Amino acid sequence: MSDVIHSDSIRTLFSNAMSEMYRTEVPQYGTLIDLVRDVNEAVLAADPALKARLEAAGELERLDVERHGAIRLGTAQELFDIRRMFAVMGMFPVGYYDLSVAGLPVHSTAFRPVDEAALSRNPFRVFTSLIRLELLEDRGLAEEAGRILARRKIVTDRALELIATAEKNGGLTEAEAKEFVTEALETFRWHSEATVSAGTYKKLHDAHRLIADVVSFRGPHINHLTPRTLDIDAVQKGMPERGITPKAVIEGPPCRQAEILLRQTSFKALEEKINFTGEAGSSEGTHTARFGEIEQRGIALTPKGRALYDELLGKTRQAVAVGSKGDGASSYEEELKKQFEAFPDSFDTLRREKLAFFRYRAAPGATFDGTSANLEELIKSGALIADPQVYEDFLPVSAAGIFQSNLGSDAQSNYSGKANQTAFEEALGAKVASETGLYSKTQTGSLVAALTALGQAHLASLDEAA
Ligand code: OOG
Ligand code: NI
């Protein structure tokens, strides 16, 4: 069909609608957005070069647009349907995150745009977790939870119809897309009416707070949205001044010149009133699930760079543990900074040591006379330019920290994992893409194109850039 609109446009309709809904549902989130905007404005005012760079890249007008959200699902069927729903919006499963390493009974993926044009139009992603009832010790309770989950339908009938239409026609018309987004929103909406009694909720909650959050409600309410900030340290500091309680530490690498991977922090989940069902009528209770988060992204790392990151983070966490009340947070930050002195802090060094992924291009109008012997010469001459590739994915240890903090504790925990990617992909009905594979493809493809443009294609095979 010729009048289908681009999936990127549907994603933008969706992320805008989610943002509006979440701001109305969680007023503190609106306060966080205001703080992020103020901090971003201050950073831009103090750094005109950065402002010019963002403006040239078309980044300025969508600086405040949300970068990600998260949901937690209950069954294989739900994960299967959600994959089909996100595909309509040009979002595909990338990466497998085993959160059992942190004692959490979930495993996850990120639904996100994969090609470069789509990412630059709107990078909105959804960190999506599937609960793992098989990890529950209490088998009776696991079965009961399974029965409760089997009764619910998280995607509306009309949304399912429109998904099938999109699959058949290769997309949706504008009118269909608008209706689809309205229907999709129903899946992620908050329901203060629990589907279980106070007694069942308590049993689920005692087994694990995450289990109660997933099993007790009609759908997988969006549990946070995350805008981008240009200065995460300033937002972390600014939160208490606006009456918001941040988690104890910023997750990820420390503050650096050459930013790597992903830094994130969140405000603590709110305690919200809910109603339980019951034979003797409904009763009131509270539930904490929904919060707000901010993120700051840096360059994607090669497997070699990532191994170094994991090693330094591991050493930090071994040396200093943050307690459940956030005690030890400042020694943790000091230790992190100290450990990461071993991580080169310039993009040029990161490139030469093959620690990070770049995107290559020929300088506008550049030519290179003769045959160059190596890439470094081309880069030094200014003919070949290497731009950092932004990390578009998540970090399991950081994600665990965000989960923990919003389950009521800042304590860091380290367990041994029980990864099961095969089971996850069976439920999903598809394989998850390898994030490294995507960055590597972009790097190689851009290098070959740039070298060809410079008449230096012979170098493309010489350099296995990563
Ligand atoms: C997801 C937590 C992980 C992130 O940004 O790493 C996450 C959740 O709490 O469901 O969103
Ligand atoms: Ni998040």
Lowest mean pLDDT among 314-318, 326-330, 392-396: 326-330
Per-residue pLDDT tens over the stretch 195-226:
999 999 999 999 999 999 999 999 999 999 99
255 pLDDT exceeds 60? yes
1 pLDDT exceeds 70? no
Quote the pLDDT of residue 461.
74
> Please, which residues bridge with residue 140 across strands?
none
Report the range out of 11-15, 242-246, 282-286 with the highest average pLDDT.
Answer: 11-15
Quote the pLDDT of residue 411.
62
**Binding site membership of 70 for ligand 1 (Cβ less than 6 Å):** yes
Quote the pLDDT of residue 323.
84
Query: Which CATH number characterizes residue 281's domain?
Result: 3.10.180.80
Mean pLDDT of 261-288: 90
155 pLDDT exceeds 50? yes
Report the range out of 21-25, 58-62, 74-78 with the highest average pLDDT.
Answer: 74-78
User: pLDDT-based confidence at 268, cuts 50/70/90?
Assistant: confident
269 pLDDT exceeds 90? no
How far does the centroid of ligand 1 lie from the alpha carbon of residue 275, in Å? 26
Give a yes or no: residue 323 inside a domain.
Answer: no
Give a yes or no: residue 275 inside a domain.
Answer: yes
Give a yes or no: residue 142 inside a domain.
Answer: yes
Where in the sequence is the domain holding 81, given as residue range(s)?
Answer: 7-299+393-433
304 pLDDT exceeds 80? yes
334 pLDDT exceeds 70? yes
| Residue from 268, 402, 404 to probe ligand 1 pocket by mutation (most atoms less than 8 Å from CB) | 402
Give a yes or no: residue 388 inside a domain.
Answer: no
Give a yes or no: residue 346 inside a domain.
Answer: no
Q: Which atom of ligand 1 is nearest to the CA of 403?
A: 9
Mean pLDDT of 139-167: 97
**Distance between CA 125 and CA 406 in Å, rounded?**
20
Quote the pLDDT of residue 466.
44
Write the CA distances from 377 to 369, 373, 452, integer angstroms: 12, 7, 16
- Contact between 454 and 383 under an 8 Å Cβ cutoff? The reply is yes
User: Which is more confidently placed, 324 or 17?
Assistant: 17
The phi-psi region of residue 167 (left if phi > 0; otherwise alpha if psi is between -120 and 50; otherwise beta) is alpha
User: Which is more confidently placed, 109 or 327?
Assistant: 109
**Binding site membership of 394 for ligand 1 (Cβ less than 6 Å):** yes
**Binding site membership of 403 for ligand 1 (Cβ less than 6 Å):** yes
Per-residue pLDDT tens over the stretch 3-52:
999 999 999 999 999 999 999 999 899 999 999 999 999 999 999 999 99
Quote the pLDDT of residue 463.
56
Per-residue pLDDT tens over the stretch 337-358:
999 999 999 999 999 999 999 9
Report the relative pairing of strands 271-277 and 283-288 from DSSP bridges: antiparallel
154 pLDDT exceeds 70? yes
Per-residue pLDDT tens over the stretch 79-136:
999 999 999 999 999 999 999 888 899 999 999 999 999 998 999 999 999 999 998 8
> Please, which residues bridge with residue 90 across strands?
none
**Binding site membership of 97 for ligand 1 (Cβ less than 6 Å):** no
Give a yes or no: residue 153 inside a domain.
Answer: yes
Mean pLDDT of 446-457: 94
**Binding site membership of 402 for ligand 1 (Cβ less than 6 Å):** yes
| Residue from 67, 127, 293 to probe ligand 1 pocket by mutation (most atoms less than 8 Å from CB) | 127
Mean pLDDT of the chain: 92
Q: Which atom of ligand 1 is nearest to the CA of 226?
A: 5
Which stretches within 289-381 are classed as H helix? 303-319, 329-339, 347-352, 375-381
Quote the pLDDT of residue 54.
86
Q: Which atom of ligand 1 is nearest to the CA of 399?
A: 6
**Binding site membership of 129 for ligand 1 (Cβ less than 6 Å):** yes
User: Based on the structure, what is the number of domains in the chain?
Assistant: 1
| Residue from 101, 297, 403 to probe ligand 1 pocket by mutation (most atoms less than 8 Å from CB) | 403
Report the relative pairing of strands 262-267 and 292-297 from DSSP bridges: antiparallel
How far does the centroid of ligand 1 lie from the alpha carbon of residue 430, in Å? 22
Mean pLDDT of 132-156: 95
**Binding site membership of 398 for ligand 1 (Cβ less than 6 Å):** yes
Global pTM? 0.95
Ligand number nearest CA of 72 is 1
**Binding site membership of 266 for ligand 1 (Cβ less than 6 Å):** no
Quote the pLDDT of residue 101.
82
How far does the centroid of ligand 2 lie from the alpha carbon of residue 278, in Å? 34
Quote the pLDDT of residue 325.
80
Give a yes or no: residue 264 inside a domain.
Answer: yes
Task: Please report the DSSP string for 113-163 in residue order.
Answer: --SHHHHHH---EEEEEEE-GGG-S-HHHHHHHHHHHHT---S-HHHHHHH
How far does the centroid of ligand 2 lie from the alpha carbon of residue 81, in Å? 21
User: pLDDT-based confidence at 415, cuts 50/70/90?
Assistant: low
Mean pLDDT of 415-440: 92
328 pLDDT exceeds 90? no
Phi and psi for 366 in degrees, rounded to 5?
-75, 145
Give a yes or no: residue 339 inside a domain.
Answer: no
* Non-local CB neighbours of 41 within 8 Å, separated by 6+ positions: none
| Nearest-CA residue for atom 5 of ligand 1 | 399
